A and B are shown apart, each in its own frame.
Chain A
Amino acid sequence: MKSPMKKWFPIFLAVVCTLILGAPAVQANADFSGEQITWIIPFKVGGGSDVWSRLYAPFFKKYLPGNPIVAVKNMPGGGSITGGNHFAQRVRKADGLTVFGSSGSTSFPYLLGNSKVKYDFSKYHIVFASPTGGVAYINPKLGVKSAADLKGLEDELAYASQGATSLDIVPLLAFDMLGLNVKAIFGYKGRGSGRVAFEQGEVNIDYQTTTAYIKNVRPLVDQGVAVPLMTWGVLDDAGKIVRDPVEPDLPCFPEVYEMVHGKKPSGQAWNAWKAFMVAGFGVQKAMWLPEKTNPEIVTAYRDAAAKVVADAEFQEIVKKSLGGYTQLPGEQARKAFEQVLSVSAEDKAWVLNWIKEKYDVEVK
């Protein structure tokens, strides 16, 4: 929301900066002196992506050439499609003064081919990406002590879901691939209410992002009312999914798959799961520059992102508020996002069909 404070403060700061810096001494290729950068966040104020952008914004001001003000502009609606389409259709300048922040909820409808989506990530320039992780856990009353006991578990499990086309594709498909009989109960709003439903006994299998897991589910594990099963894993440099460094004692999903089926995961289900896992967790949030941005501006942004990530003060913030995951600047982010962009048409069709068969939901 645009408050008077937010409106005038940047202008005030801009004036002060101009006065202090005077005429720029060096004429760099990319120089944002006295400029204001608008960072479109397609979600409400106070949500996860909003907090993420506000944590990053002052550091981009610090490291972008010319120290421009970086102002977050919230443009919520349509589960982030509204903001994404605005970026795709209205932001065409090459000056790098408007950037976009995407999240898993922005990438999923893009991957699923939702007809309302007008944005195309293959055209834009990624500046950096922030990964997150997920931890699945189960009610101990089912007799499960660890992921190894999942094999042959026949009880009907209940999972609190936000919808068959939401980020829940990752847990639901994972459970399905493990042969678990999980009933998705739709209508919950957010992982927080899913966790409460687990504590109430309304559902008996759930997952949380790692940060929420550590604060809210570990105490339940200590009390013996929750058993952690697995993490979704993280992408390593070679593009493989490996154990989550934040919860290294838990196996990651591919390991659990091997425990249950006796072989490494492969095939269309696995390809699809991996693409959605990377889009929803591995590079969950990312900053984008529009298609026609000047190459030197893209470079300036990516250099700034690398400096932000290396900043000691910022690393503290990563530890405290961003789950402690290694942030991916520039090239690393681009490489990781390749995994999302390179999903084949057949694999996408497979997922759409799976959603249709299993939940009777068609993506329009």
Chain B
Amino acid sequence: MEAFLQSLTVLLTPSHLLLLVAGVLLGLCVGILPGLGGIVGMTILLPVIYGMDPHNAFALLIGMVAVIPTSDTFPSVMMGIPGSSASQATIMDGYPLARKGEAARALGSAFTASLIGGLIGAAVLTLIIPIARPLVLAFGSPELFMLAVLGMSMVGVLSGNQPIKGIIGAGIGLMLGAMGDAPAVTEYRYTFGIDYLMDGVSLVIVGLGLFAFPEIIDLLIKGRPISEKAELGKGWLDGVKDTIRHKFIVLRCSIIGVVIGFIPGLGGSVVDWIAYGHVIQTSKDRERFGKGDIRGVIAPESANNAKEGGGLIPTFLFGIPGSGSMAVFLGGLLILGIQPGPSMVTENVDLLYTAIWSLALANIVGAGMALILSKPITKLTVVPFNYLAPFMILIITFACYQATYSWGDLIALLLMGILGWLMKQFGWPRPAALIGFVLAGNLEQYLFISVQRYGMGWLARPGVIVMAVIIVASLSASIVYQRKLQSAGETVKETVKE
């Protein structure tokens, strides 16, 4: 407890606060730019932290990484383009809201949800530390496989009354995800002798190709501003009220976010989809999902900020990063001379608390700044898109080029973009393909390990059975609400088509 408060007083000294704010500002910028996420931000900061005091470096690094899921909401809501992989699901309802002229409301509620989610993440992180090690250790390969299956089961909800298209879409995603070197054997798949394909296609390229590219093309064809109404409608304050009204969604989704964050290996890229799928599954009135239901914004936004707190646990306690940005953060720890491990909760506990306080403070500062910024930025939705398009195309190309710095990145973006546009035209659910892509590696790797290690015995593990029950229950809940689900599905399909 003493260390807990001491870390706070250290963090509140002006030099620390200044670094924290600097980190937050960088995080906001990186988040707003489509396709750039935590990995890029961490990479920018890595050379800077060399020789810094660890507490200072933490304020900077965590300040940056904590607010990316806050500001990446801007492009997701306003243009239907994922700001980073954490906000892909926000598009589903955030973008329709923006087109109705309610961008300010969507952003207001998203930032409030981000703020609360981030704070819940930090709080859970504090409480969970004493039992974090056994908790993480409870997830062996068979359990991780079942978690990935749970992620895949969201495809059902996200493809509405088009189950066949959803399953095929997910299959396309799985195949895309299988490209490159196989996770468990020394083989390369679908590389066609092209060196670029040896490492598969990067998530940034698939995400931007499937979602950003088709949106830009369609907006250009229509030649209109993003918002279909000239005025901006309801203000951000209504959004804040919306979030407070749906406080239980925020709480549930934040917990989903923390849990998925701290389980190493699943990666944070599906947390927003799982939260989004969860909120649809547990809602009785689903008619408006996909058309601009504010709950569809609140759910992923509270989960993706909470995830960052969870993600620190495996990185600190086991030295195994759960996401790309945490992998770079781990490198940062080593540069600072900190070896992660069990000693993080004993001799280095002050650092852990600095991390938690930085996370909480950064969320407050970040959400505040994003709210202030939202007013001028929402005006962009009434600007004719022809003026915005060249800028957006430039940024997206730039972001994709960050993947491997080769021509292959641009070609891959173009191909993915064409695939995404075709899927949109013909009403194929793109989220299904994306979820398949993200989970392909995990599904294969953990199934392979489970079978090698336990034979068929892995099916009898208690964790696996519990998870199987959850999956069956969530799927049958969907079927029970079939009728309502169908209407929700239609709306999802409509958005996909529009």
Residues of A within 8 A of B (CB): 1-6, 9, 44-48, 50-51, 54-55, 58, 75-79, 82, 158, 163-165, 183, 185-190, 192-193, 195-197, 199-203, 211-212, 214-216, 219, 317, 320-321, 361, 363
**A-B pairs with lowest CB-CB distance, top 4:** A46-B331, A187-B184, A46-B328, A215-B341
Among residues of B, the one whose C-beta sits closest to the C-beta of A160 is: B449
The reply to whether A46 and B42 form a contact with Cβ atoms under 8 Å apart is yes
Question: How far is the CB of A250 from the nearest CB of chain B, in Å?
Answer: 19
- A192 CB contacts on chain B under 8 angstroms: 318-320
Task: Identify which of B40, B48, B264, B404 contacts A196 (C-beta below 8 A).
Answer: B264
Nearest to B325 among chain A residues (CB) is A46
Contact A185 B186, CB 8 Å, known A200-B137, A212-B319:
no
Are the CB atoms of A78 and B195 closer together than 8 Å?
yes
A45-B186 in contact (CB<8A) = no
Residues of B within 8 A of A317 (CB): 337
A158 to B141, CA, bound (A): 14
B201 at interface by CB-CB < 8 Å = no
Give A201 to B461 CA distance when docked, in angstroms. 13
* B185 proximal to A (CB < 8 A): yes
Interchain CB contact under 8 A, B43 and A3: yes
Q: Is the CB of A45 within 8 A of B42?
A: yes
Q: How far is it, in angstroms, between the C-alpha of A77 and the C-alpha of B141 when the chains are bound? A: 26
How many residues does chain B have at the interface if contact means C-beta atoms less than 8 Å apart?
A: 49
Looking at chain A's contact residues, is the secondary structure mostly helix, strand, loop, or mixed?
A: helix
Q: Is the CB of A46 within 8 A of B46?
A: yes
Q: How far is the CA of A163 from the CA of B327 in the complex (A)?
A: 21
State whether the Cβ of B453 lies closer than 8 Å to any Cβ in chain A: yes
In angstroms, how far is the closest chain B Cβ from the Cβ of A193? 6
B136 contacts which of A165, A189, A196, A219 (Cβ < 8 Å)?
A: A196
The answer to whether A45 touches B140 (Cβ under 8 A) is: no
Q: Is the CB of B405 closer than 8 A to any CB of chain A?
A: yes
Closest B residue to A355 by beta carbon equals B186
Pairwise interchain contact A187-B452, C-beta atoms closer than 8 A: yes
Chain B residue with minimal CB distance to A363? B186
Whether the Cβ atoms of B141 and A197 lie closer than 8 Å is yes
Query: Across the interface, which residues of B come within 8 angstroms of A201, CB to CB?
Result: 140
Whether A215 lies near B449 (C-beta < 8 A) is no
Within the assembled complex, what's the spacing in Å between the Cα atoms of A195 and B446?
16
Asked whether B327 lies within 8 Å of A158 as measured between CB atoms, the reply is: no
23 contacts between A and B (CB under 8 A): A3-B40, A6-B44, A45-B39, A47-B327, A50-B331, A54-B46, A55-B335, A79-B181, A163-B186, A186-B184, A186-B452, A187-B446, A196-B318, A196-B320, A197-B141, A200-B140, A202-B141, A203-B453, A215-B319, A215-B339, A216-B318, A216-B341, A219-B342
Any A CB within 8 A of the CB of B282: no
Q: Out of B46, B136, B198, which one reaches A45, CB within 8 Å? A: B46
Q: Which of A51, A82, A183, A189 contacts B331 (CB 8 A)?
A: A51
Which residues of chain B have C-beta atoms less than 8 A from A193's C-beta?
A: 264-265, 320
Q: How far is the CA of A44 from the CA of B136 in the complex (A)?
A: 26
Whether B384 sits at the interface, judged by CB under 8 Å, is no
**Closest chain A residue, CB of each to CB of B402:** A1
Q: Mask for B296-327, Cβ within 8 A of A = 1, else 0? A: 00000000000000000000001110000001
Best-buried of B47, B48, B332, B337 by chain A (most CB within 10 Å): B47
Which residues from chain A contact B445 at a C-beta distance below 8 Å? 187, 189
Q: Which residues of B contact A (CB under 8 A)?
A: 39-40, 42-44, 46-48, 50, 136-137, 140-141, 181, 183-186, 195, 198-199, 264-265, 318-320, 327-332, 334-335, 337, 339-343, 402, 404-405, 445-446, 448-449, 452-453
Is the CB–CB distance between A51 and B186 below 8 Å? no
Total number of residue pairs linking A and B with CB closer than 8 Å:
133
Closest to A359 in B: B186
A194 to B339, CA, bound (A): 17
Contact B404 A77 (CB under 8 A): yes
**The residue from A75, A77, A199 contacting B198, defined by CB atoms under 8 A apart:** A77
Residue of B nearest to A185 (CB): B452
Q: Is the CB of A199 within 8 A of B137?
A: yes
Contact A5 B47 (CB under 8 A): yes
- CB distance B453 to A202 under 8 Å? yes
B178 → A minimal CB distance (Å): 14
List, in ascending order, chain A residues with CB within 8 A of B329's CB. Answer: 46
CB nearest neighbor in B for A361:
B186
CB-defined contacts of B335 to chain A, threshold 8 Å: 51, 54-55, 321
Q: A219 CA to B346 CA in the complex, in Å?
A: 11
Instruction: From the candidates B320, B328, B341, B452, name the one contacting A219 in the complex (CB within 8 A).
Output: B341
B210 CB, min distance to chain A CBs, angstroms: 23
- A159–B337 Cα distance when bound, in Å, is 29
Cα A191 to Cα B470 with chains together (Å): 31
Task: Decide if A46 touches B330 in the complex (CB within 8 Å).
Answer: yes
Contacts of A203 in B (CB 8 A): 453
CB atoms of B47 and A54 under 8 A apart: yes
Asked whether A3 lies within 8 Å of B332 as measured between CB atoms, the reply is no
| Extra contacts besides A200-B137, A215-B340 (17): CB < 8 Å | A1-B39, A6-B44, A44-B328, A45-B46, A47-B327, A55-B335, A76-B199, A163-B185, A195-B318, A196-B136, A196-B320, A199-B137, A202-B453, A211-B339, A215-B343, A321-B337, A363-B186
Contact between chains at A47 and B331 (CB < 8 Å): yes
B50 contact set on A, CB distance < 8 A:
54, 58
Contact between A164 and B47 (Cβ–Cβ < 8 Å)?
A: no
Cβ 8 A contact of B199, one of A48, A78, A163, A190 = A78
Q: Which residue of B lies closest to A47 (CB)?
A: B331
- Residues B452 and A5 in contact, CB atoms below 8 Å apart: no
Distance between A133 CB and nearest chain B CB, rounded to angstroms: 15
Q: How far is the CB of A178 from chain B (nearest CB, A)?
A: 22
Q: Known contacts A5-B44, A77-B198; is A216 also within 8 Å of B319 by CB?
A: yes
Q: Which residue of the partner chain A has the closest CB to B408? A: A77
> Bound state CA distance, A76 and B405, in angstroms?
10
Residue of B nearest to A82 (CB): B195
**CB proximity of B48 to chain A, nearest CB, Å:** 7
CA distance A320 to B47 in the complex (A): 18
Interfacial chain A residues near B46, Cβ < 8 Å: 45-46, 54
- Report the separation of the CA atoms of residues A22 and B136 in the bound assembly, to the nearest whole angstrom: 58
Contacts of B141 in A (CB 8 A): 197, 202
Which residues of A have CB within 8 Å of B453?
158, 185, 202-203
A290 to B382, CA, bound (A): 56
Known: A54-B47, A77-B404. A44 touches B327 (CB 8 A): yes
CB <8 Å contact, A185 and B331: no
Q: Is A165 within 8 A of B44, CB to CB?
A: no
> What residues of chain B lie closer than 8 Å to A163, measured between beta carbons?
185-186
From B406, which residue of chain A is reached at the shortest CB distance? A77
